[in-house]
Amino acid sequence: MPTQVFDTLTFGEWLRTQREAHDMPLRRVAAHLDVDTSIVAKMEKNQRPATKQHLQQLAALFEADFESLLVMYLSDRVAYDLLDETCSEAVLQVAEQKIKYLRQKNVVQGKIEF
């Protein structure tokens, strides 16, 4: 699936689109995930988050790239958290810098010198 689609669709919209494109009823996707159909319906409406395990199972079911699904899912979480904030762009910029800092800090702390 092109990156542009991942940029615009929410995870729930993607899930519903894929399910319908594969002509699958909710119950079949639910059985694949080993959850109730109401949970899949809520995922499609962005009312219930998926788990990483669900993402892996859905990637296999719909032959999609897991990392792309993870990016879509995590970006949804961030977007919904910041949706009503007026400083969302600044928050994202600072968060990006903090991620770089924390990754570097973890790498430095992980080194063992003899």
CATH number at residue 59: 1.10.260.40
**Considering Cα of 55, then 36, then 61, then 25, what sign does the dihedral take?**
negative
Number of domains forming the structure of the chain: 1
- Asked if residue 2 has pLDDT above 50, the reply is no
Instruction: Note every long-range contact of 63-72, with CB atoms under 8 Å and residues 24 or more positions apart, other chains counting.
Output: 64/1, 64/18, 65/1, 68/1, 68/3, 68/6, 69/11, 69/14, 71/6, 72/6, 72/9, 72/10, 72/11, 72/14
For residue 91, is it within any domain?
no
For residue 112, is it within any domain?
no
- Asked if residue 96 has pLDDT above 50, the reply is yes
For residue 95, is it within any domain?
no
Which structural domain, as residue segments, surrounds residue 57?
3-84
For residue 50, is it within any domain?
yes
What pLDDT digit, counting tens, does each position of 60-90 carry?
999 999 999 999 999 998 988 898 889 989 9
pTM above 0.75, yes or no: yes
For residue 40, is it within any domain?
yes
For residue 105, is it within any domain?
no
